[in-house]
C-alpha cells in the first residue's frame, strides 16, 4: 500500500440481485495502482474482473450494491456527484472495452466521436479539436487520418476500430487507462500491435494502466504487478516477475499450466483444471478453488483462507497450502 497511489480500491464488494438470490461478483477486493504503473488483472469469465473495473469506473448496473472505497487521485469516487463523475470519466479516467464495435457509436463518424470528446472535456474550439483528432489518429497508427474522420465505425476493421477506441480514450491525456480485454476480439498479429501501442503510449504519457485479461501471456511482459482473481476474490497478487518465478497459489499455477505451449511437443496432454468455477449465487464455505484444487485438504473445504502476506511485502496469496517449490513453467 504505497502512500502515493493514484488509485486505491479498498475492501470493495459488489453484489447483484438475481432471481436465484444475491450474486457476489466482487468479494472484498483491495488493490492499488501507482502513477505510471501497470496492473494486470487475470481471471476466467465470471471471476468478477469486469465487475471490478466497472466498480472503479462507477459504471455498475443500477441494481448492483457496492461497498468499500474507491480512491482516485485523492477523491472518493463513491461520494462524487454524477456530474463530477462524468467530468472525471473520459478526462482523467479512461476505458477501452473488449469489443470496439459496441463501444463506438455506429451512427456517428469517427471524427464526430473524437471531436466531441475533445470539445466536451478540454473545451477546445472546432478547428483545434479537428487538428488534435488527426494527430491522435496518426499517433495510434491509423493510415490517412484526415480521411478517417469522415468514416463510420463499420467501415474500419476490428483492429482499426480498437485503435480509434484507444485514440478516444487517450484524447484527454487520462491519468489512468483501464483496458478491459482490449485484444480478446482480435487476431494474434493485431493483438501484438495493439499491446505495443498501449505500452508505448503509456510510457510516453506516464499514464497508469490496468489491463484486464484471461491470458497470462498478455500480462507477462507488459505489467508491473499482477492480481489473479477467482470467484470474485483476488487470490494471488505479486510483482509480475515474482509471480511467474514463484507462483504460490495453486490456481495461478493451474491457469498457467493449462495454456498450450509452443515449446511442448504436439499431442502432449494439457494439464486441464477439472470442473468449473463455483456458482456465484451459492458461495462456498471454504476456499472457492478447493473443489478443483489438487492440493486441497479438509481445512480448505471448511475455512476461507485470507489474502495474506507471504515471502515479501508485495507477494500475497490466499491459500493454506501454497506451492513450496519452484513452480516454473507449468507441470
Partner 1 sequence: MMLQISPTALPSASGEPLLEVNDLVVEYPVGAKTVHAVSGVNLQIARGETLGLVGESGCGKSTLGRAVLQLRRPTSGQVLFDGHDLTAMQGDALRLMRRRVQLIFQDPIASLNPRRKIGDIVAEPLVISGVKDPEKRKELVYEVLSAVGLDPALVVGRLPHEFSGGQCQRICIARALILNPEFIVCDEPVSALDVSIRAQILNLLEEMKARFGLTLLFIAHDLAVVKAVSDRVAVMYLGRLCEVGSSEQLFASPAHPYTALLIEAIPVPDPDVRPTETVPVGEPPSPIAPPSGCRFRTRCPRADQRCSDEMPELRPVVPGQLVACHHPLI
CB of 273 to partner 1, least distance (A): 4
Exactly one of 65, 241, 311, 314 binds partner 1 (CB under 8 A); which one?
Answer: 241
CA distances from 91 to 14, 76, 123, 251, 289 (A): 25, 16, 11, 37, 39
Which strand (E) or helix (H) includes residue 136?
helix 126-139
Using CB under 8 A as the binding rule, whether residue 9 contacts partner 1 is answered as no
Residue closer to partner 1 by CB (options 277, 322) is: 277
Using CB under 8 A as the binding rule, whether residue 331 contacts partner 1 is answered as no
Residue closer to partner 1 by CB (options 276, 299) is: 276
Which strand (E) or helix (H) includes residue 5?
strand 5-18
Q: For residues 35-64, which are near partner 1 according to CB under 8 A? A: 44-45
Exactly one of 19, 269, 324, 325 binds partner 1 (CB under 8 A); which one?
Answer: 269
Residue 178's contacts (CB-CB under 8 Å, 6 or more residues apart) are 53, 56, 57, 93, 94, 95, 96, 209, 210, 212
Half-sphere exposure for 61 (CA within 13 Å, toward CB): 11
CB of 66 to partner 1, least distance (A): 26
Residue 151's contacts (CB-CB under 8 Å, 6 or more residues apart) are 109, 110
Q: How many whole angstroms separate alpha carbon 151 and alpha carbon 135?
A: 16
Exactly one of 82, 268, 298, 326 binds partner 1 (CB under 8 A); which one?
Answer: 268
Using CB under 8 A as the binding rule, whether residue 313 contacts partner 1 is answered as no
Strands 21-34 and 5-18: antiparallel
The mark string for 193-232 relative to partner 1 (x by CB under 8 A, - otherwise) is: x-xx---x-------------xxxxx-xxx----------
Give residue for cell 503510449: 201
Using CB under 8 A as the binding rule, whether residue 281 contacts partner 1 is answered as no
Exactly one of 39, 149, 211, 254 binds partner 1 (CB under 8 A); which one?
Answer: 254
Exactly one of 100, 153, 159, 174 binds partner 1 (CB under 8 A); which one?
Answer: 159
CB of 118 to partner 1, least distance (A): 25
Q: How many whole angstroms separate alpha carbon 66 and alpha carbon 58?
A: 9
Residue closer to partner 1 by CB (options 65, 261) is: 261
Pick from 164, 170, 146, 177: nearest CA to 39: 177
Using CB under 8 A as the binding rule, whether residue 106 contacts partner 1 is answered as no
Residue closer to partner 1 by CB (options 252, 316) is: 252
Using CB under 8 A as the binding rule, whether residue 104 contacts partner 1 is answered as no
Using CB under 8 A as the binding rule, whether residue 274 contacts partner 1 is answered as yes
Using CB under 8 A as the binding rule, whether residue 298 contacts partner 1 is answered as no
Give residue for cell 488483472: 41
Q: What φ, ψ does residue 295 adopt, rounded to 5°?
A: -100, 0
Q: How many whole angstroms separate alpha carbon 251 and alpha carbon 227?
A: 12
| Residue ranges in contact with partner 1 by CB under 8 A | 44-45, 141, 143, 157-160, 187-193, 195-196, 200, 214-218, 220-222, 240-241, 243-245, 254-256, 258-262, 264-274, 276, 329
Amino acid at each position: 500500500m504505497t502512500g502515493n497511489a493514484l488509485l486505491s480500491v479498498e475492501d470493495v464488494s459488489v453484489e447483484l440481485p438475481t432471481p436465484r438470490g444475491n450474486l457476489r461478483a466482487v468479494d472484498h477486493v483491495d488493490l492499488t495502482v501507482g502513477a505510471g504503473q501497470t496492473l494486470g488483472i487475470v481471471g476466467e469469465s465470471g471471476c468478477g474482473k469486469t465487475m471490478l473495473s466497472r466498480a472503479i469506473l462507477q459504471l455498475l448496473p443500477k441494481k448492483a450494491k457496492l461497498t468499500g472505497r474507491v480512491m482516485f487521485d485523492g477523491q472518493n469516487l463513491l461520494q462524487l456527484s454524477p456530474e463530477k463523475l462524468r467530468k472525471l470519466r473520459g478526462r482523467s479516467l479512461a476505458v477501452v472495452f473488449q469489443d470496439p464495435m459496441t463501444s463506438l457509436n455506429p451512427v456517428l463518424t469517427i471524427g464526430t466521436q473524437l471531436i466531441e470528446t475533445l470539445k466536451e472535456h478540454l473545451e477546445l474550439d472546432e478547428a483545434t479539436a479537428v487538428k488534435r483528432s488527426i494527430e491522435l489518429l496518426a499517433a495510434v497508427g491509423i493510415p490517412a487520418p484526415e480521411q478517417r474522420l469522415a468514416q463510420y465505425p463499420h467501415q474500419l476493421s476490428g483492429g482499426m476500430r480498437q485503435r480509434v477506441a484507444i485514440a478516444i480514450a487517450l484524447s484527454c491525456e487520462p491519468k489512468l487507462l483501464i483496458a478491459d480485454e482490449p485484444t480478446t476480439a482480435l487476431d494474434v498479429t493485431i493483438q501484438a500491435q495493439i499491446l505495443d501501442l498501449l505500452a508505448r503510449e503509456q510510457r510516453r504519457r506516464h499514464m497508469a494502466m490496468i489491463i484486464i485479461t484471461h491470458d497470462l501471456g498478455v500480462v507477462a511482459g507488459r505489467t508491473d504487478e499482477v492480481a489473479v482473481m477467482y470467484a470474485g476474490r483476488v487470490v494471488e497478487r505479486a510483482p509480475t516477475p515474482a509471480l511467474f518465478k514463484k507462483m504460490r497459489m495453486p490456481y495461478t499455477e493451474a491457469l498457467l499450466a493449462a495454456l498450450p505451449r509452443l515449446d511442448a511437443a504436439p499431442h502432449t496432454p494439457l494439464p486441464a483444471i477439472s470442473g468449473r468455477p463455483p456458482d456465484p449465487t451459492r458461495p462456498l464455505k471454504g476456499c472457492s478453488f478447493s473443489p478443483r484444487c489438487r492440493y486441497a485438504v479438509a481445512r480448505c473445504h471448511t475455512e476461507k483462507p485470507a489474502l495474506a502476506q507471504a515471502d515479501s511485502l508485495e507477494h500475497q496469496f490466499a491459500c493454506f497450502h501454497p506451492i513450496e517449490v519452484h513452480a516454473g513453467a507449468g507441470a
